[in-house]
Amino acid sequence: MSISLFLLLLLALAAAAYVAGRARAEMVAGGDIRRLHSLPRQHGLNLAIAFALPALVGYAAWRMAGAGGGLWASLLILALGAASALAVWLALKPETRARNEVEAATKLFLVACSVIAVATTIGIFLSLIFETIAFFQKYPAAKFLFGTKWAPDFRGGSDLGVIPLLWGTLYVSAIALAVAVPVGLFAAIYMSEYASPRVRSLAKPAIELLAGIPTIVYGLFALITVGPMLRDWIAQPLGLGSSGASVATAGIVMGVMIIPFVSSLSDDIINAVPQSLRDGSLGLGATPSETIRQVVLPAALPGIVGAVLLAASRAIGETMIVVLGAGAAAKLSLNPFEAMTTMTVKIVSQLTGDTDFAAPETLVAFALGLTLFLITLALNILALVIVRKYREQYE
Amino acid sequence: MTAPTRSLLVADARTKARNRAEARFRAYGLAAILLSVTLLGILLASILSNGLSAFRQTEITIPVTLDAAAVDKGGKGDLSSLRATSATAYGKLIAKALKDELARQSIPTAGLSDKDIAALISEQAGADLRNRVLGDPRLVGQTVTVDALATGRIDGYFKGRVTLESAEKDSKIKPEQLHLADAMRDAGMMALRFNSGFLTNPDASEKRPEAAGLGVAIAGSLYMMIVVLGLSLPIGVAAAVYLEEFAPKNRFTDLIEVNIANLAAVPSIVFGILGLAAFINFAGLPRSAPLVGGLVLTLMTLPRIIIPARAALKAVPPSIRDAALGIGASKMQSVFHHVLPLAAPGILTGMIIGLAQALGETAPLLLIGMVAFVRDMPGLPPGGFLDPATALPVQVYNWTQRADPAFTERASGAIIVLLAFLLIMNAAAILLRRRFERRW
């Protein structure tokens, strides 16, 4: 029996159990539902749960055990649910605490749903770690971590050093931050300290719109507009390169993308600096800009550092902009107009198309994923801790 | 009596310098905002100017006589014998009709071979005509008016992408063919029309960009959004309700909270690796399936839904809960009967924004095989959830990887479609917030 048919049958039978439970409760009450501890519909729900829960658990266990959806097995599992429902039906008395049972089951469901978040993290970690171990059994970890050459070859004899990819990632992210931090910070300062409410109500959503645009749009923008522009106007006249895809292209476009990450969080943080600090400074005769530079910003600094760290984590994990804007050649170079590549680009290129999950050239993507995950995790946790500590300071 | 060296009425050099610094600082702030807004404008203008032309397509209008001898080789006139005729045969029929029509209208074709003339027509045109005849076999033997797609180069000529100079160096098009196209346009045989096929057709091969459309991608994205909505709404709301209303303050719930905050910042490509390892390699679900894409996007979207849902629940004042508990409701009843309905607009707003983010996500889908070339529309649910499909943003990526510049136009056009969907979703979220927002 297919899963959808089973679920449909289960739903129909659960509905029947609900009706039966309601009717039974009304019968037991002898026409006066005030005699019942719980409302008839709660009895109905209780019966439906008593049917569906064991059937679902049984079916899940059956499928997990690797067995196919046999017709008889499915019917047996449904019968199991029906037996459990029948037991509840027979035991139904006016004083049965159906509501408490239903609420306990609901709470169980709520807990299960919140645990999914933890399960996702565990799943990410396990899926990365197992394949990474498999990779390190085929390729020495030291060569991966300290190798300065990246030249995968599916016929064997690949060089899979992470250093050039790490360099590309950090270079692109550094350019992105060099664009986003000054622009984002000044935008945040202007919006929180100078702008009238009207300007603020227009500018804030406009800047946040930048964060709502999908990254593939930025990628295409880098590919068809920014890349050729940088090449024709800057790189070629200066003789620095002739490639549209370059670290500078990807970095600048990514910088535009993370402006709102810097500005939104910095704006919140600057707003959280107590007004009394500003008043004190202005009262001593400082101009607003002196107040901001010498009082507000130092007070907000830890929070701003947190915001920048979050933006950096965003930049390091960003994929589509670098796939379309940065190029595919792994290089260790200082020239920003040269095409370089990043860890995320190589994860994509090693895992798309026909992949052989026994080859180190495929498995290396998982090691790259783990590296990426650990770097961003460290940045995120650091940023969260800093921001949280900072918030407590003024509360 | 000497004049005072210092006065409040006369700004001294130092005050002037400080005031200038103030004005400068302020200007930097304004410049930063203007720069961000300008960049947003340039981004949108670049996409629009590159992509709007994808919604118009050059078509050649010619009468074609569907000779029974040519299209019905079996000779029986029923569907099965009509199916035996290939699209290439229809292509030849259209090419011949074009040549005849050019002769009838006495449009000069000097310097062009029959093959060059036939090359004005897309390879797709034969297949389109074949489908039309298979859909209505009574057309056999009649003369019908056919709107055949022109090839990408001719289309590009009318859109300004291909010029006479570029055609000199291009092996796929000759300047004479472009002159012929001009003559045909003047004769009313060739024109740019609204390209409805762009929204409904499947993707097309490298050689026929003019026929490529977003049909499969839109269907795949729609299926994925159904999966994301169906899973993340109940799970996200349940998790938010538990964490905000029931969870005791202990290390376990603290762990869950830190986890959710972290997951919201994990790079999306990592979710793609999870999907590949867990759903495809471990659970054995098929590659390229909207179900797998939906599951991956659900895991990615969940934390981004839980966080605003919790904020919405928190915004409901405690007096509501106290009142419900005071007249005898259980804790569960107070939450589900009173708090949740009041928080619903806020939760839904967060949900729509989360869905919009999921719709634009590309990187994780690349890893689970949604870049595959898919010609067939996925079937109807529930089976269709397992059929191969692509997604809108992935289709954009796919088209950027093709060599023909006509695909760049298509990619920009696809982004306009994507942005239109996002705009509608975000507008719905804003309207919802405006309409139902409550201040306590």
Helix or strand holding residue B193 (H, E): strand B190-194
Nearest Cα of chain A lies from the Cα of B30 at a distance, in angstroms, of 6
> Which residue type sits at A350?
Q
The verdict on a CB contact (< 8 Å) between A215 and B362 is yes
Give the model confidence (pLDDT) of B259-289 as tens digits.
888 888 899 999 999 999 889 888 888 888 9
Q: Is the pLDDT of residue A392 over 70?
A: no
Nearest Cα of chain A lies from the Cα of B369 at a distance, in angstroms, of 7
In order, the DSSP letters of B321-365 are HHHHHHTT--HHHIIIIIIHHHHHHHHHHHHHHHHHHHHH--HHH
**According to the model, what pLDDT value does residue B440 have?**
67
The per-residue pLDDT of chain A, averaged, comes to 89
- The band of B388, judged by pLDDT with boundaries at 50, 70 and 90, is confident
**According to the model, what pLDDT value does residue B144 have?**
87
Phi-psi group of B438: left, alpha or beta (phi > 0 → left; psi -120 to 50 → alpha; rest → beta): beta
| Closest to B343 measured CA to CA, from B366, B392, B310 | B310
Residue A233 CB contacts under 8 Å (≥ 6 apart), including other chains: none
Q: What is the pTM of this model?
A: 0.89
> What is the C-alpha separation between B130 and B143, in angstroms, rounded?
14
Which of A115, A116, A350 is the mutation pick for testing B, counting most B CBs within 10 A? Answer: A116
The verdict on a CB contact (< 8 Å) between A190 and B30 is yes
> What is the C-alpha separation between B429 and B349, in angstroms, rounded?
5
B12 or B222: which leads in pLDDT: B222
**According to the model, what pLDDT value does residue A109 have?**
93
Give the model confidence (pLDDT) of B83-115 as tens digits.
878 888 888 888 888 888 888 888 888 778 888
Nearest Cα of chain B lies from the Cα of A316 at a distance, in angstroms, of 8
Cβ-Cβ contacts under 8 Å between A and B: the total is 254
Residues of chain B with Cβ-Cβ distance to A376 below 8 Å are 265-267
| Closest to A216 measured CA to CA, from B118, B360, B102 | B360
**According to the model, what pLDDT value does residue A62 have?**
82
**According to the model, what pLDDT value does residue B3 have?**
59
Q: Is the pLDDT of residue B1 over 60?
A: no
Q: For B142, list phi and psi in degrees, rounded to 5.
A: -95, 170
Decide: A40 and A33 in contact? Cβ < 8 Å. yes
> What is the C-alpha separation between A110 and B256, in angstroms, rounded?
13
**According to the model, what pLDDT value does residue A360 have?**
85
Minimal-distance CA residue of chain B relative to A290:
B22
Place of tokens 């901001």: A292
**According to the model, what pLDDT value does residue B136 have?**
84
Does A324 touch chain B if contact means CB atoms closer than 8 Å?
yes
Which of B30, B38, B43, B298 is the mutation pick for testing A, counting most A CBs within 10 A? Answer: B43
Decide: B49 and A200 in contact? Cβ < 8 Å. no
Q: Hey, is B276 helix, strand or coil?
A: helix
Q: Is the pLDDT of residue A326 over 80?
A: yes
The verdict on a CB contact (< 8 Å) between A190 and B32 is yes
Does A216 touch chain B if contact means CB atoms closer than 8 Å?
yes
Question: Inter-axis angle of helices A40-64 and A98-138, to 10 degrees?
Answer: 20
Give the model confidence (pLDDT) of B232-260 as tens digits.
999 999 999 999 999 888 888 888 888 88
Residues of CATH 1.10.3720.10 domain(s) within chain A? 150-393
Give the one of B43, B273, B302 whose C-beta lies nearest to A221's C-beta.
B43
B416 or A390: which leads in pLDDT: B416
DSSP A67: -
Q: Is the pLDDT of residue A395 over 70?
A: no
**According to the model, what pLDDT value does residue A208 have?**
86
What value does the mean pLDDT take over residues B202-228?
A: 90
What value does the mean pLDDT take over residues B187-211?
A: 87
Decide: B139 and B132 in contact? Cβ < 8 Å. yes
What value does the mean pLDDT take over residues B65-71?
A: 80
Q: Is the pLDDT of residue B28 over 70?
A: yes
Give the model confidence (pLDDT) of B336-380 as tens digits.
999 999 999 889 989 999 999 999 999 999 998 888 888 888 888
Phi-psi group of B77: left, alpha or beta (phi > 0 → left; psi -120 to 50 → alpha; rest → beta): left
**According to the model, what pLDDT value does residue B80 have?**
77
> What is the C-alpha separation between A56 and A85, in angstroms, rounded?
13
Q: Is the pLDDT of residue A98 over 80?
A: yes
Give the one of B21, B265, B270 whose C-beta lies nearest to A124's C-beta.
B270
**According to the model, what pLDDT value does residue B325 have?**
95
Residues of chain A with Cβ-Cβ distance to B276 below 8 Å are 127, 351
> What is the C-alpha separation between B375 and B390, in angstroms, rounded?
10
Q: Thinking of the domain A150-393, which architecture would CATH place it in?
A: Orthogonal Bundle (1.10)
Q: Is the pLDDT of residue B438 over 70?
A: yes
> Which residue type sits at B334?
S
> Which residue type sits at B289?
A
Give the model confidence (pLDDT) of A285-323 as tens digits.
999 999 999 999 999 988 899 899 999 999 999 999 999
**Which tokens sit at B115?**
């093959």
Give the model confidence (pLDDT) of A211-263 as tens digits.
889 999 999 999 999 999 989 898 888 888 888 889 999 999 999 999 999 99
The verdict on a CB contact (< 8 Å) between B269 and A324 is no
Chain A, residues 256-285, CB within 8 A of chain B, namely 256, 259-260, 263
The ipTM, to two decimals, is 0.89
Hey, what domains does chain B have and what are their CATH numbers? 52-195 (no CATH), 215-436 (1.10.3720.10)
Q: Hey, is A93 helix, strand or coil?
A: coil
Chain A, residues 115-174, CB within 8 A of chain B, namely 115-118, 120-121, 123-124, 127-128, 130-131
- The band of B207, judged by pLDDT with boundaries at 50, 70 and 90, is confident
